């Protein structure tokens, strides 16, 4: 089953560009989006445990991070594209 996750990480884990490169390499990550510092929205068919294990295998154990499965009990100021990805587990179609 496809799920969406919030990936939150400390600066010690890596720069935004380094994290983008890592997520692009990961076989457990289907898609991702970012628009908040130190946060990525991730789509995957894998568990948070599996994603974190692969991520740590690539980036190492420096710093703190967490993959948290998104649920509908959430509210905030995100773009419509970010909400769409979290809720539908895919990118919003272009108009």
Cα–Cα distances in Å, from 19 out to 37, 42, 49, 79? Answer: 11, 12, 18, 21
pLDDT at 51: 98
- Give the whole-angstrom CA distance, residue 10 versus residue 19: 11
Domain boundaries, the chain: 3-88
pLDDT at 17: 97
pLDDT at 74: 95
58-89: per-residue pLDDT in tens?
999 999 999 999 998 999 999 999 999 999 99
23-60: per-residue pLDDT in tens?
999 999 999 999 999 999 999 999 999 999 999 999 99
User: Topology of 3-88 in CATH?
Assistant: Alpha-Beta Plaits (3.30.70)
Task: State the DSSP H helix or E strand holding residue 80, giving kind and residue range, or none if neither.
Answer: helix 80-88
More confident residue, 75 or 94: 75
């Amino acid at each position: 089953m496809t799920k969406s996750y919030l990936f939150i990480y400390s600066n010690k884990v890596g720069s935004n560009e380094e994290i983008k490169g890592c997520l692009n390499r990961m076989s457990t990550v289907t898609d991702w989006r970012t628009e908040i510092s130190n946060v990525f929205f991730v789509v995957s068919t894998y568990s948070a445990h599996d994603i974190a294990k692969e991520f740590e295998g690539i980036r190492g154990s420096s710093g703190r991070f967490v993959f948290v499965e998104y649920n509908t009990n959430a509210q905030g100021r995100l773009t419509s594209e970010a909400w769409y990805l979290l809720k539908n587990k895919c990118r919003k179609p272009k108009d």
